[in-house]
Each structure stands twice: as C-alpha cells, then as structure tokens.
Structure 1
C-alpha cells in the first residue's frame, strides 16, 4: 500500500481579494481504508511559510472524508516570505487501531516516531491567484516573482491583464511587464487621452528596460499624441531620448516637435533646468530660439523658473541676442525673471549687458546703477570672455576704469586669448588708462611693453609708462 488517503485536488488555489484581509481555500482528504481510521498530519513544506492550516493533526474514520482550510494572512507583513521555496502542503498519514481514541498529543507522538507505520501520501502545491495578488507581486518586486506572477494571472481576464500591465508600467517593473505581455496583455492599450503606455513608463522613473520591453513588444508610438520626447525631457532622460529617436526613425523623429502649448522639448527642459537635455537636443538639430504660443523662447521658460544653469546654457547656445527676444506682451526673459522674483538672474539677462555698454561709453552713473541697484557682477564676462574693465580700457574711459576697480573689479582678468585690460589700453593707444591700471596694481607683460614702443603718444606718458614697468624688463 502506497497511501492511506487521497486528496480531492492536485493543487490548492486561493483567490486573494484584499491586502488587509485573510484569504483561504479548502481541500478534502478521503480515507481509503475500509476498516481502519487514519491519522493525518498536515504541514507546509516551507518552514517560513505565510500559510497556516486550521487542523494540522486529525483522524479520518474508514472510507470517510474530512475538509481542511489553508489560510494566508494579510500580505503587508508577510510579503517578503514569497521569495523562498515554493509553497505546498505535505500530507503524512498513519494507520490507527480500531476502537482506540487519540488526542493531539498522542497523534503528535505518533508522527515523531519514523517507521513503516508512517506514509507520505501527497504533496499538494499551494498557489495564490487573482489580480489583487498580482498587483502585490508587481508593486513589491518580489524575488522569484515570475513563476508566482504567471500563476497569479492564470485566472485573470484579458481586460484584467491589460489593467495589470498599466500598473506594472507605473511601478517600473520590467520583468512583470514582460510576463503580462507574454500572457496576452495589450501592449498597445491607450489611456483616456489616447496616449500609449510609453509616456507612462517614462514618467514612472528610472527603469529604461520597461520602455525597451514595450517597444520590443510592438507598442506603437504616435509622437504627436504621446509626446515622448517632451516626457523624456521633463524626466531629464537623455538616454531615453536617444532610444526613442532611434525607434521612431529619422522621418518622424523631430526634436522641435511641439505640444499643445507650442513648446518643444527644449522649452520643457529649460523649465525644469535640465541642461544635459538642452545640449543634447541642440546637438540633434533642435532650435533653442523657437517661440511657443505665448511668444516665449526656452530662455523665457528658464527665466520664469529661476533656472540659472539652464539660462547660462541657453545663452551659450543662442548668444546675447536671445536676451532681447520679447514675448507677445513685449516682455524679455529678464522681465519675466523679475516678475517671478528671480533677481539672481538679473545680471545674466540684463544688468551685465547694461554694465558693458555703460563701461564702453563712460556712463559712470549708469555703471553705478547697474552695480548697486541691479546687482550686476563687476567681474562678469561676455561671450568673448571680456569683463567690463576690458571694454573700458579698450575705449580709454578712465572714469569707467576707476569706478569698476573701486567696486571690486579684478585688475588683471585674462580673456580667452590672453588679453588683459592693460594690454587692451596699450594697444588702443590709451596710455593714460594704462598708467592708471599700473598704478592700481596691474602687472605689465613683455607683450604689453613691446606694444607700447610702437605707439605715437606724448613722450611724458611713454616715459612714465616705461618707468612704472621697468621691473618687467
């Protein structure tokens, strides 16, 4: 004889409904013996199992059946246990002498003594099924969840599978996304706005593999509807932009595509301060000067949110002309920044330019206003790497030079090709400015002194300059 009892199922399936309630399932064991009662011991094969059995020890009369309930407590406490071995109920039996009663202690002692009287009758697999348990597995990223999830969704309707796919995309669970698509979930399902699952995957977070799985499954992107490049720009995901542009193809890929506000991905990146995205879009042919329906350039967008690094990046890409662009209300990016309280952008967007102009023409009052009221950076540089002091020296504006130095200007700033304000003054023939700069601490170089030899200037000034710079020779 190989067994004493027979289970009525090959597998126990529990339908899990709510995460804060227990779920349970029943199964029946039938005693196959005609004249003898059978003792039954039921245990879970996994020592750390979250399942419990209502009657772990019992007796079944001859040719009779008994029903047992196996339960699963709520998952918020026990979810981690699903990373262990597969769940099953081990059915162990032993024959009992007729007419003799046994209590639980007697039965326990009976099964503690191994021998020919003990039979391993069955191992009944236990699984949890239904969309609620599938959601639990997806959201908790349970290890070994592929087999668990496949079982959990085996009783799901097609519509439930697609709902679960959307949930898996939201959770950024690439493995679950693949399992659900293989099981028949519709990877081309749309939301109420007609968008595919790809924008949702981008918004979900850092899992690029979710997007890869969706694209590999045949998910169709309609860029004008899905605006996937805008979504990737908002998420600061250059890697996704590369992937999407490659997938969409050259004919449909357009980094200057616009949303309902007329904004490109560069606008979106500027609003969020995503400098890497701005640079990438420009490198792919994107226009950083496109205006939206309000007449805003990306620079307006960055200025409105006080995105300093984005402002700097856009000025590097667009040049200073971008500062003068006005929206439909006649506002520059500077005006937008000031309206929104981002005074720290004033120097970059306006006061720096005013300071340079004032330094060039010798407008001392204008310079003072820029430095005290506008907060302009006295050592700020233009696109050529020149400071206001370079320009004042070049134009021979002694008063401008004096005001700038008195307000903290560096005396010897060097531009991209090695020019200092002193050299600008000398090569422009403004030795009076050169003398003033040397007197205030500027250090003459050999190139500067050589340049002064060819100048037509009053001997007195040349002699003075030579005496002040004799230590260089």
Structure 2
C-alpha cells in the first residue's frame, strides 16, 4: 500500500480578495477498512497559509473536512512553481489515540509516515486577473492562471477585465476573455466603447481582434474614425471601415467636423487621402463654416493644402467661414507665408494691382486675400496700384479696406508713390480717402511741389465725389 488516505481535490483554488482572509474547504477520506489514520497538513509557506485542523484523526473508511486559510494580503501570491499542501498520514493502532500524541508521531521520520498527496494552491478570481494584466510580462505562465481564474468571474467582471487588457495592449488576455464570454459591446459609464479604448491604446492587433469578434460602433456616441484620424492611423481607419458596417467616413462630431477635418488640422496627408478614397467629402463645412482647407491653412500644413487643392473632388477654395475668412486669410493671419504660393491669392492680388486688373482685385478680395499684404519691400497692393496710376484699382482696394496710410520699409505711403510718379488723379483719390499729405515728406518726390499744391487746392474746393469720379 502506497497511501492511506485520498483527498477529493487535485488543486486547491482560493478566491482572492484583497486585504481579506481567503478560505477553501476540501475533504480527505481514510482508505483503511479497520484502522484509524492520523493526518498532518502543512504548506510550503506556513507564514501565509494555515489550517483549521493541521493534525487530526480519521476513523476507518470515514471522511473528514478541512479548511485552508490564507492570511490577508495586499496582492495575491503567485509563485512559480505554486505553493503546495502536503498531506501526510500514519496508521494508528486504535482510532481513539489521543491527539496530543500526533505531533510527536509526525516529528519522527520513518517508514510509518506516508506522503499521501501534494496539492497545488492557486489564487483565482477577478482580482487575480486584475493583478496579472498590467504585469503580464512578469508571468510567462500567465495562461495557467487565466485558465483557472476566468471560470470564477461573471460576465460583468470579464468585461471590466477586457477593458483593462485592451488598454494594456494584451492581445492574449483579450482573446481569452472574449472566448470566456466578455461583452464586447458594453458601453462604459464614461461613454467610451472598447473600440475607442483600443484605438487610444494604439495596438492594431487588438483592434482587429475586437472587430473580428463582433464589436460594433455605436454611432450615437462613438467617434472612432475621428479618433483614428487624430492619431494619424490610416491602418486603424482601414480596419474600421472594412470591418464595421456602421462606420461612416462622413459622420460629424459635435462641432460638425468629419474625420477629414481632423486629419487636415493635424497635417496628415495620408489620412486625408484615405478619407477621400473612402468617400469622405473634402468640401464639408463644419458648424463654423470651416472646410478641411481652412483647418490645414490655419495650422500651416502645406502638404494637406496642396493635396486638397489638387483633389478633383475639392471645390471649396473660396469658402468663407463664419468669421469672414477664407483659407488664405487664415494663412495670412497665422503668418504661414509658405502657403501663399499654393493658395495663390497673395501674388495674384499684387499682380492684379500692378497690371490694373480691377476684377482680379475684387475676386482676390472675395476669396479672402489680405488687402494689406506686403511684399519683400513692404509694399501693399495699394502702393503698386498708386505707383502705376491704376486709379480704379486704388478705388477697389480702398473699398476693400486697404490702409490708405500704410508705409513701406522706407516710410513711403501710396500717396508718396502716386506723387513721385506724377499720378495726379490717383493722388487725388487717395487724398479724398483721407491720405495724410505732408508737404515736408513729399519734398524728395520728383513730382513738382507746385503741382501738388495745386492738387491740394483743387481737393479743398471740390466734393469728394467729383475727385473720385474724375478721369484717370
């Protein structure tokens, strides 16, 4: 005979509760027909585990119940290899042997001691998995613990653990929890779906696992494509658009923006390109009248600006937002002069002023060109028009809000330019619109001073409307 007793468990599973005692009962049966058996229970870690009956006697063919108790701890003990319960036994000449003699019996080694069983101890349950997920790399045998703990969790607990595993980018645990019945479509109280958490965690494989497991996007709260666009993750957007029937590349957020707006603001040409290829509308305006081009121009993203302007589907170059600004106006406002050539409005306005193209000036201003934009010498379009004597252009620029007294780097105003080149009618229009005429400042001009005096005298005795309507 190799053993005297038989436990009814091959493994002792303790449901772990942080800071609490954990208990588990099991039974041991005496296999002897005519003789009582003495039992001794011990563990590899006596400082952590105790028993209600560490020493006892079981009558012939009888069964006794024992309880193992783990002392309170802040975290579950998960040693490798696991802790063990050792079951030892010894035959007694009579079942009435006094228990006070049992300790002495097991203290003496010898053939009278039988080592009947060695039982592994495992902590299991929700809090064990919760402890393991952020420490998965420290436990190469994590599958062993997951397989034993998962059956002790209800669906709500499994789903909570799934959220944590997704955040930790732990695909192995994610799969195990989903296979065990975690709800992949439960919306958390913070409004975030599991898809949203996976995108934020940045793990493509976990996202694929969720999509293939039947996770859906709730269009009443989810903005998963916006979130993927914010992270510049084309691969995420491809998985979502391919795997989710409810994915909408033109879904608007609370500000009326679609994913293309987000990508344009972040400067991601790749994401903007994907959005357009997936049916995204590059002409959509948000609740403030902004197109994706506005977003790119405000932030100085040249690549996105060039892509949108060349995109066959895009026709919103001249859209004016609720603040009355076009994309060009935003580029000027934010000093993104590297965008001017692409947007082509700054150069066009100066050229129109130089060649006398009144309609061109009006078109540029309508599109949002800065009427007071300056070239490398500090000249505004008004300087150019005045220098060339383009009186109608001067009128158009002034009507568009041009600063009549704007000075270049040398201190010259448009009036200086008109006087210096002898553009009498142009100078009269400027004076009629309030240009400050300082005789002292004009002494260096080649235009005869007496002619300027005559111009001023004429201005003083003539209605503004007559001056403005005079021949050029």
TM-score range, shorter chain: 0.5 to 0.7
CA distance in 2, matches of 1:224, 1:53: 51
Q: Which secondary structure does the structure 2 equivalent of 1:189 belong to?
A: coil
Tell me how far 1:285 sits from its aligned partner. Answer: 4.5
139, 149, 158: which is aligned to 2:155?
Answer: 158
Q: Which secondary structure does the structure 2 equivalent of 1:367 belong to?
A: coil
CA distance in 1, matches of 2:254, 2:233: 21
Aligned CA distance change for structure 1 residues 217 and 365 (closer, same or farther; 3 Å): closer
CA distance in 2, matches of 1:243, 1:57: 59
365, 368, 376: which is aligned to 1:367?
Answer: 376
* 1:37-91 superposed Cα distances (whole Å, 9 cap, x missing partner): 73625234xxxx8993236995434647765424474328x56x4xx44554332
Q: Which secondary structure does the structure 2 equivalent of 1:230 belong to?
A: helix
1:316 maps to 306
Task: Please tell me whether residue 265 in structure 1 is matched to residue 265 in structure 2.
Answer: no
Q: Which secondary structure does the structure 2 equivalent of 1:54 belong to?
A: strand
Q: Which secondary structure does the structure 1 equivalent of 2:48 belong to?
A: strand
Q: Which secondary structure does the structure 1 equivalent of 2:185 belong to?
A: coil
Q: What are the residue-to-residue correspondences of 1:281-430 with 2, within 5 Å?
A: 281-304=275-298, 306=299, 308=300, 311-319=301-309, 324-333=318-327, 336=330, 343=335, 345-348=336-339, 354=346, 358=350, 366-369=375-378
Number of residue pairs matched by the alignment: 347
Task: Please tell me whether residue 220 in structure 1 is matched to residue 216 in structure 2.
Answer: yes
Task: Please tell me whether residue 16 in structure 1 is matched to residue 16 in structure 2.
Answer: yes
Aligned CA distance change for structure 1 residues 119 and 211 (closer, same or farther; 3 Å): same
Q: Which secondary structure does the structure 2 equivalent of 1:326 belong to?
A: coil
CA contact (8 A) 2:10 2:120 kept: yes
CA contact (8 A) 2:225 2:240 kept: yes
Tell me how far 1:187 sits from its aligned partner. Answer: 2.4
Tell me how far 1:247 sits from its aligned partner. Answer: 1.9
198, 202, 205: which is aligned to 2:199?
Answer: 202
Tell me how far 1:103 sits from its aligned partner. Answer: 9.9
Aligned CA distance change for structure 1 residues 230 and 67 (closer, same or farther; 3 Å): closer
CA contact (8 A) 1:38 1:96 kept: yes
CA RMSD, 1 decimal? 4.4
CA distance in 2, matches of 1:163, 1:279: 37
Tell me how far 1:295 sits from its aligned partner. Answer: 0.7
Q: Which secondary structure does the structure 2 equivalent of 1:135 belong to?
A: helix
Structure possessing the higher radius of gyration over alpha carbons = 2
Tell me how far 1:370 sits from its aligned partner. Answer: 7.8
1:38 maps to 38
TM-score between both structures, scaled by the size of structure 1: 0.59
1:75 maps to 75
* 1:194-232 superposed Cα distances (whole Å, 9 cap, x missing partner): 8753233222x1222222222222233455753332222
Task: Please tell me whether residue 243 in structure 1 is matched to residue 239 in structure 2.
Answer: yes
CA distance in 2, matches of 1:256, 1:65: 66
Q: What are the residue-to-residue correspondences of 1:82-231 with 2, within 5 Å?
A: 84-85=80-81, 88-94=84-90, 110=109, 116-141=111-136, 142-191=139-188, 196-203=193-200, 205-221=201-217, 226-231=222-227
Unaligned runs of 5+ in 2: 356-372, 381-472
CA distance in 1, matches of 2:87, 2:290: 74
CA contact (8 A) 2:230 2:263 kept: yes
* 1:397-449 superposed Cα distances (whole Å, 9 cap, x missing partner): xxxxxxxxxxxxxxxxxxxxxxxxxxxxxxxxxxxxxxxxxxxxxxxxxxxxx
Tell me how far 1:243 sits from its aligned partner. Answer: 1.5
CA distance in 2, matches of 1:162, 1:90: 37
CA distance in 2, matches of 1:217, 1:51: 44
Unaligned runs of 5+ in 1: 372-473
CA distance in 2, matches of 1:65, 1:189: 42
Aligned CA distance change for structure 1 residues 103 and 337 (closer, same or farther; 3 Å): farther
CA distance in 1, matches of 2:116, 2:73: 27
CA contact (8 A) 1:334 1:346 kept: no
CA distance in 2, matches of 1:53, 1:223: 52
1:386 maps to none
Tell me how far 1:239 sits from its aligned partner. Answer: 1.0
CA contact (8 A) 2:296 2:305 kept: no
Aligned CA distance change for structure 1 residues 272 and 87 (closer, same or farther; 3 Å): farther
2:366 maps to none
Task: Please tell me whether residue 25 in structure 1 is matched to residue 23 in structure 2.
Answer: yes
TM-score between both structures, scaled by the size of structure 2: 0.59
CA distance in 2, matches of 1:74, 1:108: 34
CA contact (8 A) 2:293 2:308 kept: no
